[in-house]
């Protein structure tokens, strides 16, 4: 099995049991197979941020020591993880062009993400996929990897099995070497102890409602028992000059649990505990012009 050179990024940040519980095990398994691993991560959790850059920020550098499991200001060992105060896409760009500029990477892997990245609502928002998109735009082979969990029983045997299954799929993709121009792969692996079959899928297209809830203030009346009444109360306070705030609070169960998703889609595969491999192109899909014939009228505007 070839020892590929890989740059690892994620959107969950440095290793932690709460927000980034998979990355150490994944890297250790890659290294055990002879992969040459370099790591450049956000220094904090950066989910739902897609392929964004904070263009006015100066990006700071820290290091995660694998020996002490601590974040520190200075590098202490060759295998320390580089931590940047930027987005996942920022980490990939700086990692490729600055931190590890002398390494010719065979592939960039974003992940493993803490949770699935299937369906359009997740794939468009995912910082994990955003990091892989950035790698593709930097002319590198790229894979986005996510682990889908079905309960909160996230034990080491499940993590080890998911990592093992993911690496088996990634090795096969590298062996097949089927990469379209600006192409990448989005892989979702069930976090389970049993072996899972692999399905090549497309994206399930869906939508959502509100992802935010009003922040409840101490002055909010006690009889405001639901989101709508809380928001009405807070709006009244805002009109009186009190601050009005909202917090990110999506219903993840409703967003993920789509049992009637079309067969052959990523959501269908993950729901049925298959490994989903979705080939993507790092570009927006264009509407075929024959689907919007009335737009031809635009060409008659301001004719010279």
Range of the domain at 225: 212-249
What's the pLDDT at 214? 86
Same domain (yes/no): 130, 221: no
From its phi and psi, is residue 182 left (phi > 0), alpha (psi between -120 and 50) or beta? Answer: left
CA–CA gap between residue 103 and residue 281 (Å, rounded): 25
Q: Do 51 and 158 fall into the same domain?
A: yes
- Regarding whether 83 and 13 lie in a shared domain, the answer is yes
Residue 220: predicted pLDDT: 47
Model confidence at 161, pLDDT cuts 50, 70, 90, reads very high
Judgement on whether residues 265 and 236 belong to the same structural domain of the protein: no
- pLDDT band at residue 26, thresholds of 50, 70 and 90? very high
Mean pLDDT of 172-180: 97
Question: Mean pLDDT, to the nearest integer, of 29-49?
Answer: 97
> Domain for residue 223, yes or no?
yes
Same domain (yes/no): 162, 262: yes
Question: Which of 61-65, 107-111, 209-213 is predicted least confidently?
Answer: 209-213
What average pLDDT does this structure show over 114-141?
96
Per-residue pLDDT tens digits for 78-91 = 999 999 999 999 99
State the CATH number of the domain containing residue 64. Answer: 3.40.1210.10
Is residue 296 included in any domain, yes or no?
no
Tell me: do 227 and 107 sit in the same domain: no
Q: Are residues 109 and 140 in the same domain?
A: yes
pLDDT average, residue stretch 153-178: 97
Do 87 and 127 belong together in one domain?
yes
pLDDT attached to residue 3: 86
Give the number of domains in the chain: 2
Q: Is 267 exposed, middle or buried (0-12, 13-18, 19+ CB in 10 A)?
A: buried
| pLDDT tens digit sequence for 189-224 | 999 999 999 999 999 998 888 899 888 654 444 444
267 and 191 assigned to the same domain:
yes
- Is residue 12 within 8 A of residue 19, CB to CB? The reply is yes
């Amino acid at each position: 099995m070839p020892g590929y050179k890989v740059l690892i990024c994620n959107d969950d940040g440095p290793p932690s049991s709460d927000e980034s519980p998979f990355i150490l095990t994944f890297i250790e398994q890659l290294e055990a197979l002879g992969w040459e691993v370099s790591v450049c991560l956000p220094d904090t959790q950066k989910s739902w941020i897609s392929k964004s850059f904070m263009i006015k920020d100066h990006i700071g550098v820290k290091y995660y020591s694998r020996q002490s499991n601590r974040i520190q200001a200075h590098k202490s060992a060759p295998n320390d993880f580089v931590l940047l105060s930027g987005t996942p896409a920022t980490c990939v760009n700086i990692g490729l062009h600055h931190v590890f500029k002398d390494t010719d990477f065979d592939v960039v892997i974003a992940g493993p993400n803490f949770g699935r990245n299937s369906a359009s609502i997740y794939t468009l928002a995912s910082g994990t996929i955003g990091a892989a998109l950035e790698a593709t735009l930097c002319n590198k082979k790229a894979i986005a990897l996510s682990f889908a969990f079905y309960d909160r029983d996230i034990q080491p045997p499940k993590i080890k099995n998911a990592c093992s299954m993911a690496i088996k799929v990634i090795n096969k993709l590298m062996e097949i070497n089927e990469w379209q121009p600006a192409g990448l792969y989005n892989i979702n692996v069930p976090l389970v102890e049993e072996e899972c079959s692999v399905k090549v899928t497309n994206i399930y297209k869906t939508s959502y409602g509100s992802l935010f809830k009003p922040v409840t203030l101490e002055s909010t009346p006690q009889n405001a028992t639901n989101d709508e009444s809380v928001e009405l109360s807070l709006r009244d306070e805002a009109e009186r000059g009190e601050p009005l705030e909202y917090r990110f609070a999506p219903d993840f169960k409703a967003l993920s649990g789509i049992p009637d998703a079309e067969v052959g889609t990523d959501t269908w595969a993950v729901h049925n505990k298959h490994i989903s491999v979705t080939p993507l192109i790092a570009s927006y899909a264009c509407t075929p012009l024959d689907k919007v014939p009335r737009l031809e009228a635009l060409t008659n505007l301001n004719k010279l």
